[in-house]
């Protein structure tokens, strides 16, 4: 079975729609979402509704949890807190209920070959940013599944630990393909709605659970339209500007 792994949509309808089209043209039979359907962008209801319709698995991210008041908005930066408060005011009750029912971690796949899913990390499913080999080493040490998927950092990357050595890792660009058949892995597909690795295109990955191959993908979307929607909603202009630069 092949699955499309996505994360950090952040209410960016234009990016989510483009990725869904790309996934439909791929060999993926399911979509797994690692959280943060809402936050930063201007179309939270559309994004939650698309996830409800298309995602076989969906986790809760920290922004989702803030909007449903599971964690305090005061823990966020100014731009994130403004977006969360605005989202609370426009989110439809059925979409709020959907977010309320999500967990920040899970396990999927065949018995004995399950994949661990976390919004942020195996050590802290809600808040930890895994951007260094040191943090990856600590996470791989505690993760129960051999292969785990994480989001939250908005950077497409992979970490691996081979033959008892320390973990190593690097960012992954469009088209990168990795053989996961051996060793321990921690993989991040990057962000659909707000990439932060210098590439403004929506990020996702295609995971083959039979042959243990992962391919990193990028998809063009209407960045200008997403930015215009943010400005029309009177959200902070910085949230619109950063989309063009992938930062």
Specify the CATH number for the domain of residue 143.
3.60.21.10
Number of structural domains, the chain? Answer: 1
pLDDT at 38: 98
Residues 173/156, Cβ–Cβ less than 8 Å:
yes
Which helix (H) or strand (E) segment is 208 a member of? Answer: strand 202-208
pLDDT at 164: 81
Burial (Cβ within 10 Å: 0-12, 13-18, ≥19) of residue 208: middle
pLDDT at 24: 98
CA 101, chain centre distance (Å): 18
pLDDT at 86: 98
pLDDT at 109: 86
pLDDT at 176: 98
Q: What is the largest CA-CA distance in the chain?
A: 53
CB atoms within 10 A of CB 104: 23
Give the integer Cα–Cα distance in Å for 29 and 33: 14
Sheet containing strand 156-161, edge to edge, reads 105-108, 115-118, 147-150, 184-189, 156-161, 168-171
Ranges assigned E (strand) in 62-146: 105-108, 115-118
Task: Please give the average pLDDT of every successive group of 10 residues along the chain, which has 247 residues.
Answer: 98 98 98 98 98 98 98 94 98 98 95 93 98 98 97 98 94 98 97 98 98 98 98 97 96
Give the integer Cα–Cα distance in Å for 203 and 151: 11
């Amino acid at each position: 079975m092949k699955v499309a792994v996505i994360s950090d949509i952040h209410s960016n309808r234009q990016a989510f729609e483009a990725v869904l089209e790309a996934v439909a043209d791929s060999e993926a039979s399911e979509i797994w979402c690692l959280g943060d359907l809402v936050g930063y962008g201007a179309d939270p209801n559309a994004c939650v509704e698309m996830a409800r319709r298309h995602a076989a698995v969906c986790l809760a991210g920290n922004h989702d949890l803030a909007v449903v008041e599971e964690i305090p908005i005061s823990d966020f930066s100014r731009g994130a807190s403004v977006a969360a408060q605005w989202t609370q005011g426009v989110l439809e009750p059925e979409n709020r209920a959907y977010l309320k029912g999500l967990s920040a971690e899970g396990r999927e796949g065949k018995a004995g070959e399950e994949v661990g899913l976390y919004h942020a990390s195996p050590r802290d499913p809600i808040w930890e940013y895994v951007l260094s080999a040191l943090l990856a080493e600590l996470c791989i040490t505690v993760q129960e599944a051999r292969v785990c998927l994480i989001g939250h950092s908005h950077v497409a990357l992979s970490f691996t630990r081979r033959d008892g050595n320390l973990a190593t890792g690097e960012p992954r660009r469009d088209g990168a393909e990795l053989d996961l058949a051996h060793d321990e892995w921690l993989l991040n597909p990057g962000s659909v709605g707000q990439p932060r690795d210098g590439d403004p295109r929506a990020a996702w990955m295609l995971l083959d659970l039979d042959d243990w191959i992962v391919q990193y993908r990028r998809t063009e979307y209407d960045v200008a339209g997403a930015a215009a929607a943010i400005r029309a909603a009177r959200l902070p202009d910085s949230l619109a500007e950063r989309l063009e630069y992938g930062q």
